A and B are shown apart, each in its own frame.
Chain A
Amino acid sequence: AQSVTQLGSHVSVSEGALVLLRCNYSSSVPPYLFWYVQYPNQGLQLLLKYTTGATLVKGINGFEAEFKKSETSFHLTKPSAHMSDAAEYFCAVSGGGSARQLTFGSGTQLTVLP
Chain B
Amino acid sequence: DGGITQSPKYLFRKEGQNVTLSCEQNLNHDAMYWYRQDPGQGLRLIYYSQIVNDFQKGDIAEGYSVSREKKESFPLTVTSAQKNPTAFYLCASSIKEREGETQYFGPGTRLLVL
Q: In the complex, which residues of chain B have a beta carbon less than 8 angstroms from the beta carbon of A44?
A: 43, 90, 92, 105
| Interface check B85, CB cutoff 8 A | no
Shortest C-beta distance, A36 to chain B (Å), equals 8
Is the beta-carbon distance between B31 and A100 smaller than 8 angstroms? yes
Which parts of B40-56 form the interface with A (CB within 8 Å)?
Answer: 40-43, 45, 48, 50
Which stretch of A11-19, A46-54, A66-74, A77-85 is in the interface? A46-54
B102 touches A9 (CB 8 A): no
Question: Which residue in B4, B50, B100, B108 is a CB contact (below 8 Å) of A94?
Answer: B100
Distance of B66 from chain A, by nearest CB (Å): 16
Is chain B's interface secondary structure helix, strand, loop, or mixed overall? strand
The digit string for A41-61, where 1 denotes a CB below 8 A from any CB of B, is 111111001011000000000
Task: Tell me if B63 is interfacial: C-beta within 8 Å of chain A.
Answer: no
Number of interface residues of B (CB under 8 A): 26
User: Nearest Cβ in chain A — how far from B43, in angstroms?
Assistant: 4
B3 nearest in chain A by CB position: A43
B15 on the A face (CB < 8 A): no
B100 touches A51 (CB 8 A): yes
**Distance (Å) between the CB of B28 and the closest chain A CB?**
16
- Tell me, rounded to whole Å, the shortest Cβ–Cβ distance linking A75 to chain B: 17
B-side interface residues toward A, CB under 8 Å?
4, 6, 31, 40-43, 45, 48, 50, 58, 88, 90, 92, 94, 99-108, 110
List 11 interface pairs A-B (beta carbons < 8 Å), by A numbering: A32-B100, A34-B102, A34-B103, A42-B108, A44-B90, A46-B102, A49-B102, A51-B99, A52-B99, A100-B94, A107-B42
